[in-house]
Amino acid sequence: MLEIRNLFVAYGKIVAVSKLSLTVNEGEIVTVVGSNGAGKTTTLRTVSGMLKPQSGEISFKGRSIVGLSPEAIVTRGISHSPEGRMVFGRLTITENLKLGAYNRKDAAGVKIDMERMFEMFPVLEQRKSQRAGTLSGGEQQMLAIARSLMSRPTLLLLDEPSLGLAPLLVEQIFDVVVELRNEGATILLVEQNANEALRISDRAYVLETGTVTVEGPSIELINNPQLRAAYLGLD
């Protein structure tokens, strides 16, 4: 479904991603793990059109998306839930969700999906008229995910959904990710919480200084003692 080949992305002279290749097949959860500054966020931003690569190819459903605007990429079916709970703090929860559906013209479908989001995240329904800035960190994270689902993506890019959350909320967020996949979504997940992310994903890539150093089925990465110690920070 998504194919990245030999990607190079730089910020001025700083090369953030180099020679990166990865694929995501339909119906998979694929995790990208790696330490701070490894290039995870840069990769997702490039897929969603916020950054232009120096070179390399990104194709989605067999067609190149390099050079398309972020709006055009959303319309093709890719939605990005960014790191850092980027909700619109002064808008209400309902308004934030509507913004996630800005590219859709089927008002009835948008309404149905909004109800679905409230079923999936009951805490958001209780607070739907409240300003998003008054939500707790975990609630804002849920809103950010719900908002990105409002465009009805076929591929969801999730950047560090568990960042800064209490263990119970982390578990809830990962449950939602699995539920989404069971409903037919395909997910590319970036996580520092490698242990949890590998447990729910099918395949994984380890990124180091902008390039893939290890890839394989998540279960193999979890069970490989060398990888656990060297790359995943697990004992």
DSSP result, 40-100: HHHHHHHHTTSS--SEEEEEETTEE-TT--HHHHHHHTEEEE-TT----TTSBHHHHHHHH
Binding segment toward ligand ATP, per CB under 6 A, in 19-27, 29-37, 70-78, 222-230? 29-37
Instruction: Mention every residue, 6+ apart, whose C-beta is less than 8 A from residue 136.
Output: none
- Give yes or no for a contact between 34 and 208, defined as CB atoms under 8 angstroms apart: yes
User: CA–CA separation, 25 vs 202, rounded Å?
Assistant: 10
* 41 or 148: CB nearest ligand ATP: 41
Binding segment toward ligand ATP, per CB under 6 A, in 36-44, 96-104, 128-136, 167-175? 36-44
Least separation, in Å, of the C-beta of 92 and ligand ATP?
Answer: 29
Angle in degrees, CA 81, 106, 102, rounded to 5: 35
Binding segment toward ligand ATP, per CB under 6 A, in 33-41, 66-74, 123-131, 195-203? 33-41
Site string for ligand ATP, 3-22 (x = CB under 6 A): --------x--x-x------
Q: Is 86 in the site for ligand ATP (CB under 6 A)?
A: no
Residues 42-61, interacting with ligand ATP (CB under 6 A) = 42
Site residues, ligand ATP (CB under 6 A): 11, 14, 16, 34, 36-42, 192
